[in-house]
Structure formats: C-alpha cells, structure tokens
C-alpha cells in the first residue's frame, strides 16, 4: 500500500509567493474563548473491526473554525490544542447550516479539540455520531512548535513544501516526514472506508487538508493555494478511494461564515 500511494504523488511546481499567501490566509483570526464541549465526552477510535471494503467515496474535508490558537499568531499543533473562539463557535453553527443538504452518512474529526467543537453542530444536523480519528490531525510542528506563524515559510513549512515537489523524505525537525504524513492520512481514510461510509464529512486542519489534497488529487491545482486557500471553515470535496486515487470536485476556501 505504501509503495502504491507514494507512486501516485505527482511532483508539482510550487511558488513561494503562492505558499506565503496560503500561510497568511490559514493563520488569520480574531477572538478567544473557552469551550462548552467536553473533548473527553466525545467517542471515537482509531482502527476498526468493521468489514473491509474498497468502494468509492465522496469525502468532504473541513477545516476547523476559528480557534484561540489562530489568535495567538503562534504555531500550535499539540494535542488536544486550544478551544474555538466565540466567533469560531458562530462559524461552526453557520457551517452546519451551509452543509445541511449534503446528506453526510458519517462524521469524523481529528483528535484535537478545535475540530471536534467545529464538527458538533454539523453532525447534530445530520443526526450522526462523531468519531475521533487521530490520523486527521494537524501536521506536527516538532522543533517549530510555538514559533511565530509569520516565520513558517522559513521553518515549519520548509519540509511540507518539499513534499509537494515529490521529496517525501523531507522531515520537519523533531516531527514527521512526507511519507509518514501521507500514510497516516491514507490509513485514516481506509478506516473510514472499512466502516462502510460513502459520503463522510471529516473535520481536520488547514495544513493537513491543503497538503494532502495537493499531494494526492489527480487534478490538483496549485494556484488554489494562492487564490482560494483554506480559511477557517473552508472545505474541499474529493471523489475516489484509497485504492484508486482521488479527484477534487469542489474547493471552497473562503466560506461566508461570519
């Protein structure tokens, strides 16, 4: 599986200016708050005893709403991470309304508080349970944890940028390389598939969503990182399967969520 998935990652041209725009967009935020959702009360597991399947899926990857980490201006990738801000909770409510007609059949979130809190209104709208899947977590910053987001291009994101050009052995100091990142997300999607989900909504993180999508979609358009990067509540929809590959069918980087 690892060899196949690695082979289908296409080298992509990367403009540093484009990536800088994307970084700025995904870290913009205002407001701080504590949460009224207990992370420990949310069920979920990694791995599954459900029967295997290789069926196609439509997956919707949603970036979390505004969090206190966004406000700090610092790279914050530790589990469980900060809560949503008051604005973030409003965004999560509005997002549930916008996604109400999508007929999701499963709901997943990473093992970070901000994704679970963002997911709660949407899974409630669809009368779904929320499964916590660690494989959808943010890319760990390693030695760059707590550094200014404004310096990400010369620090935290140096290795991920290389992943986009096919250098999956590039490692974030003190953290993961591109193979580990890609394999982790792919294994999480296999778990979703084994559960029989055909139209899941998955709440994840801006960096994770953008890098994985650009590394794996057969129609990846790098210009999206500059023209429509993933802001809070942004989402991308892909069709395909872990076995056959993925095609982006919708990209909403700038949702109007308030």
* Catalytic site residue from 125, 138, 140, 149: 138
- Phi-psi map region of 119: left, alpha, beta (phi>0 left; psi -120 to 50 alpha): alpha
Could you give the angle at the alpha carbon of 63 between the alpha carbons of 40 and 203, nearest 5°? 45
Residue from 98, 112, 32 nearest 250 by CA: 98
Pairing outcome for strands 130-132 and 57-63? unpaired
3-state secondary structure of 31: coil
Per the annotation, the verdict on 235 as an active-site residue is no
Helix pair angle (86-98, 113-125), 10° resolution = 40
DSSP per position, 177-229: BHHHHHHHHHHHHHHHHHTT-SSEEEEE-HHHHHHHHHHHBTT--TTHHHHS-
CB 89 within 8 A of CB 31: no
Residue from 193, 208, 199 nearest 107 by CA: 199
Residue from 186, 109, 171 nearest 140 by CA: 171
* Catalytic site residue from 64, 126, 205, 235: 64
CA atoms of 199 and 210, how far apart (whole Å) = 20
Per the annotation, the verdict on 64 as an active-site residue is yes
Other CB atoms within 10 A of residue 40 CB: 6
Residues with catalytic function: 64, 138
């Amino acid at each position: 599986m690892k060899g196949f998935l690695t082979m289908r990652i296409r080298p992509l041209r990367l403009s540093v200016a484009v990536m800088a725009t994307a970084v700025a967009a995904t870290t913009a935020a205002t407001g701080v708050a504590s949460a009224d959702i207990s992370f420990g009360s949310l069920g979920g597991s990694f791995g599954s005893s459900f029967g295997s399947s290789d069926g196609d899926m439509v997956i919707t990857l949603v970036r979390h709403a505004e969090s206190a980490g966004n406000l700090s201006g610092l790279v914050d990738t530790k589990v469980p991470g900060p809560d949503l801000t008051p604005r973030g909770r409003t965004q999560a409510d509005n997002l549930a309304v916008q996604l109400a007609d999508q007929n999701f059949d499963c709901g997943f979130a990473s093992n970070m508080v901000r994704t679970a809190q963002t997911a709660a209104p949407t899974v409630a709208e669809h009368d779904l349970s929320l499964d916590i899947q660690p494989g959808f977590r943010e890319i760990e910053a390693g030695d760059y944890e707590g550094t200014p987001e404004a310096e990400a291009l010369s620090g935290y994101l140096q290795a991920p940028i290389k992943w986009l050009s096919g250098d999956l052995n590039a490692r974030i100091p003190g953290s993961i390389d591109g193979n580990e990142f890609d394999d982790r997300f792919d294994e999480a999607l296999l778990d979703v598939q084994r559960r029989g989900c055909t139209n899941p909504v998955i709440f994840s993180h801006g960096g994770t969503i953008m890098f994985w999508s650009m590394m794996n979609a057969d129609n990846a358009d790098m210009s999206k990182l500059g023209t429509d990067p993933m802001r809070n509540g942004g989402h991308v929809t892909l069709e395909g399967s872990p076995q056959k590959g993925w095609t982006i069918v919708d990209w909403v980087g700038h949702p109007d969520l308030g």
